Chain A
Amino acid sequence: NAGVTQTPKFRILKIGQSMTLQCTQDMNHNYMYWYRQDPGMGLKLIYYSVGAGITDKGEVPNGYNVSRSTTEDFPLRLELAAPSQTSVYFCASSYPLGPPGTGELFFGEGSRLTVL
């Protein structure tokens, strides 16, 4: 199993450009998440999905959009990129959280985005 795969690993955008961060998982997890992590900070939840066709906002959804057409894929779209969106973006997947399962999220390696 490859686990959670994110592409691209690095990207530089100009202000106002748009792009999509790709995320795919091969563990048949229903739950998928997008987090952003600013330097020296914790992870902030952008969007999450509990299954194909279902998405919901996290803590910091403004400026982003997501879709979940399949169980495997959960792309994150940035529209009109701004310098404040410079960050490392992590995609993750899991089984349903909490008892009787665990709180284990499986993370990708991250996508480092710089907006200039």
Chain B
Amino acid sequence: GESVGLHLPTLSVQEGDNSIINCAYSNSASDYFIWYKQESGKGPQFIIDIRSNMDKRQGQRVTVLLNKTVKHLSLQIAATQPGDSAVYFCAEIGGATNKLIFGTGTLLAVQP
């Protein structure tokens, strides 16, 4: 069945360093991928998305990379700040469905 998973459940980085959060997906029919950020006690917030016909997309301090050959998605955060500390989820929309399926999540801990 469909599944979206993450390689690292916890990532600890120093303030100012770059962070890379990885995600593997298994549904070849997925054509749209999204990264969400969830701070403690809050609902998830949209960060950035990417379509399956792209392999890279950049936002403000964030870059998403998509490798369809190995079904891998990553989120790069430049110059990580304490405010970036949160759980990050990748999510996918598969084929013709309207269902947004979330992965397990990675906790990003930024050390001062």
Which A positions have Cβ atoms within 8 angstroms of B?
4, 31, 33, 35, 41-45, 48, 50, 56, 58-59, 90, 92, 96-99, 102-105, 107-110
Q: Choose among B46, B89, B93, B104 the residue that contacts A98 (Cβ–Cβ < 8 A).
A: B93
Assembly CA distance A34 to B46 (angstroms) = 17
List, in ascending order, chain A residues with CB within 8 A of B79's CB. none
A45 with B104: CB separation less than 8 A: no
Contact A97 B32 (CB under 8 A): yes
Which residue of B33, B34, B100 contacts A33 across the interface (Cβ within 8 Å)?
A: B100
Residues of B within 8 A of A92 (CB): 43
Q: In the complex, which residues 53-112 of chain B have their Cβ closer than 8 Å to any Cβ of chain A?
A: 89, 91, 93, 98-105
Q: Which chain B residues lie closer than 8 Å to A97 at the CB level? A: 32, 93, 98, 100
Contact among A4, A45, A99, A109 with B100 in the assembled complex (CB-CB below 8 Å) = A45
Residues on B with C-beta less than 8 A from A103 are: 32-34, 46, 49, 91, 93, 100
Q: Give 22 CB contacts A-B under 8 Å.
A: A35-B102, A41-B105, A42-B103, A44-B102, A56-B98, A90-B43, A97-B32, A97-B100, A98-B32, A98-B51, A99-B32, A102-B34, A103-B46, A103-B91, A103-B100, A104-B49, A105-B44, A105-B46, A107-B44, A108-B43, A110-B42, A110-B43
Q: How large is the interface on B (under 10, 10 to 19, 20 to 34, 35 or more residues)?
A: 20 to 34
User: In the assembled complex, which residues on chain A have CB atoms less than 8 Å from the CB atom of B103?
Assistant: 42
Residues from chain B with a CB closer than 8 A to the CB of A96 are 98
- List the B side residues contacting A110 at CB < 8 Å: 41-43
Is B102 within 8 A of A43, CB to CB? yes
Look across to chain B and name the residue whose beta carbon is closest to the beta carbon of A102. B49
Task: List the A residue with the shortest CB-CB distance to B104.
Answer: A42
CB of B15 within 8 Å of the partner chain: no
Q: Apart from A97-B93, A99-B32, what are 18 other A-B pairs with CB-CB below 8 Å?
A: A42-B89, A42-B104, A43-B44, A44-B102, A48-B98, A59-B101, A98-B31, A98-B93, A99-B51, A102-B34, A102-B46, A103-B32, A103-B100, A104-B49, A105-B100, A107-B43, A110-B42, A110-B43
